[in-house]
Amino acid sequence: MNNELLHHLEQRINEAVDEINSLRGRVSELEMQNYELSEEKNELQNTINQTKEQQSNWESSLSQMLNRLNQMDNN
């Protein structure tokens, strides 16, 4: 009976070790995914910031043109 109990405990320990190794592998995969997503997020944020700046510049240019046109109309 003692040998059966030891064998059962050994199996449980081996299963637990396998599961821990599997979870470590999954954690590594998720950390890599997180890093890649973080890089992608940074790139997208930079693109958004550039687009906002470009839009702001266009709006400013349009506003200046409209002001000039209004000045011409008033003259």
Domain ranges of the chain: 1-75
Report the pLDDT value the prediction gives residue 3, as an integer from 0 to 100: 92
Distance (Å, whole) CA 26 – CA 66: 58
Distance (Å, whole) CA 75 – CA 72: 5
Structure tokens at 1: 């009976």
- Of 2, 23, 21, 46, the C-alpha closest to 10 is 2
Number of Cβ atoms within 10 Å of the Cβ of 11: 10
Which sign does the torsion angle of CA 11, 16, 17, 19 carry?
positive
pLDDT by residue, tens only, the chain of 75 residues = 699 999 999 999 999 999 999 999 999 999 999 999 999 999 999 999 999 999 999 999 999 999 999 999 887
